[in-house]
Structure 1
Amino acid sequence: MEQLIMEAILRHMKEKKDIKEQRGESNSPNIFCPDYSELFNMVSHKIFFDDLMKYGVHEHWYEFSQALASARSKLAAQLQHFATGLVELHEIHTGPSLKYIKVPVDGSPALQCVDCPIQLNVTSKHDKKKKEHDLRRTVTKREQQIRVYKEARGYQISRDKRNVSECAEKTVM
């Protein structure tokens, strides 16, 4: 994979040398954007980008690609967590936003640039109260399920008036 990218970059750089000045200024392209989706699973970001600098890749492209790669790795780490499963992201993006997509060709994840300068995720007080209410309702429903389970298995459930929490004691038969 790294060899293919190197060949493409070298080909791009050779074509760039053939482009002459137009109207007194150089209009040669300075950006080459390959798909990194599988590459970073095999090669470290730092090693890969240092190799690209040795080949003479333009500095602006180097900085852009490095930022893109670090954003991709952070996003992938935040989207999936081993203990909690999928995690909802709440971030403020300034500049070109990136969204996580699936590439249809091979099904591997990648980033796509979205045309909006600022993407804010604002939560109002009403939304926070609603989320807290939904969480309490979920906890209450879970407590009911546990109570039904314990009663079916022979536990006696007693409530302490000073403490809302339940204590379960196994009945001796």
Structure 2
Amino acid sequence: MKVIAFGASTSSTSINKALAAYAANLIEGADVTVLDINDYQVPMFSEDKEKEIGQAEGAQAFIRDLSQADAFVISFAEHNGHYPAAYKNLFDWATRIEREVFQGKPAVYLATSPGPGGAQNVLAAAAGSAGYFGGNVKASVSLPSFYDNFDLEAGQVSNPEYADKIASAIQSLDA
């Protein structure tokens, strides 16, 4: 199984990218590719800009990379209760090229934050709208208080309760 994982964040030290990579690597025998959304440069979306340049090259590359996957593990950062602007912008460009960006492929959606909310708002928004964009969300898990529940040095969830929740979510990709 070819799995694409990414954190919907542009931070060079993204906790969501770390969580997505950890979770994707729980899939035995999977060929995991961890994307960095910084690699997909796009201008700020507007209809005027789209008329001027057509399809943004970064969005085309993003869609090409996503098309290589059999499944996705995506962890969403939350900025003021919503998607980070850079991810939303890339996503907007991508959906103008291919409305069903996620092509019906199975996915696990995750979210985390340093605080106790665990980015639950953005996770609910992402899971709730996934179907409009070809999303096939098999499970979703919020990891609150990232630094209390994840060992960055070891690259794994340190809280057994959340480790089990994420492992169960990942198993749903095989179903």
Q: Is the TM-score greater than 0.5? A: no
- TM-score for the superposition, normalised by structure 1: 0.26
Q: Which has the higher contact order (CA 8 A, sep 6+)?
A: 2
Give the greater-gyration-radius structure (CA): 1
- TM-score for the superposition, normalised by structure 2: 0.26
